[in-house]
A = this chain, B = another copy of it.
Amino acid sequence: MSSNLQLNPEGKLKHFLTIEGLDKNLLIEILDLAESFVGITDHRINKVPLLRGKSIVNLFFENSTRTRSTFELAAKRLSADVLSMSIATSSTSKGESLLDTIRNLEAMYVDMFVVRHGISGAAHFIAQHAAPHISVINAGDGQHAHPTQAMLDMFTIRQVKKEFSNLRVAIVGDILHSRVARSNIQALNTLGVAEVRVIAPKTLLPAQVETMGVTVSHNLAEGLKDIDVIIMLRLQKERMSSALLPSENEYFKCFGLTEDRLKIAKPDAIVMHPGPINRGVEIDSKVADGPQSVILRQVSNGIAIRMAIMAMAMQKQGAA
């Protein structure tokens, strides 16, 4: 998928669909703008009127209370009007009628679609067909990308570690099916970390995963050596039945992050997780709630990052 679609002729962010094809400067610009919003997020500053009078539609074809809530809060703190629509995939299973839904919403002069969809490429498809005045933000499409999650992860990493260049980052778990993993690998490489290491059983790794710019380990204990940042992935329980995995117990024994295993990483390593966590499946509660965990800080940062991305995408409209 072409990533140029994401930029307007002046090279400014118009849509935010994937990390792929965005350069380091743009990612840094997002992180810096998000930093200026942290005070609004935690209420030391009140709302900002940046998007006053703008209408944002949350188009959630897949259920996600948490992600929908952060986008809704972010939009409201920018003073935008938010319309939340949960759309059963069934009623728009034909591309044609999805397009009719989009055409109708853009005819209402809304300014932005925040799209979550179970099918990879759905947000791109919408961006390709949307009217020129519309910005599309990808809130997760199939197993393809979840770029706002990646950016909040980058924000959290920078907050703690200051610099990206010397970091070794491990991503642990079901890389094969994870849009979070894909977007994080792209963001970390774009921002120039020293190493991205994926740690997973072979059945949960994509073919030729090395071409994504990562090193590979199949052993959690070994793989955590010298690691500064550990990104745990959520184990989709439905994978269990699909014979890719033996059992939750078995998985936890091999790839669950425990206090003991955490000690193998650098002493100041941080533990991240996109949530919601499966306690005792991919992560022990002692680690999830422990001093090295920044999982809840990720959630907080999610609002500032989404405010930044929405504000930047909307600014292009003045220029367009």
Contact = CB atoms under 8 A, between A and B. Distances in A.
A70 interface: yes
A277 B108 contact: no
A244 interface: no
A47 interface: yes
Contacts of A73: 55, 81, 83, 108, 110
Contact of A296 (B97, B103, B275): B103
A275 B101 CA distance: 10
17 contacts: A43-B109, A46-B52, A55-B73, A69-B85, A69-B105, A69-B108, A72-B83, A73-B83, A73-B108, A73-B110, A96-B279, A96-B285, A100-B275, A107-B297, A108-B299, A108-B300, A109-B303
Given A107-B299, A300-B109, A65 B85 contact: yes
Nearest to A85: B65
A104 B67 CA distance: 11
A72 B58 CA distance: 14
A54 interface: yes
Contact of A43 (B47, B53, B279): B53
B42 A53 contact: no
Nearest to A103: B296
B83 A55 contact: no
Interface residues of A, number: 43
Given A47-B53, A65-B87, 20 more contacts: A43-B53, A43-B111, A46-B53, A47-B52, A55-B77, A69-B83, A69-B108, A73-B81, A77-B81, A96-B279, A100-B275, A100-B277, A104-B296, A107-B297, A107-B299, A107-B300, A108-B299, A108-B300, A108-B303, A109-B300
Contacts of A69: 83, 85, 105, 108
A201 B27 CA distance: 61
Contact of A76 (B77, B81, B300): B81
Contacts of A87: 65
A275 B104 contact: yes
Contacts of A100: 275-277
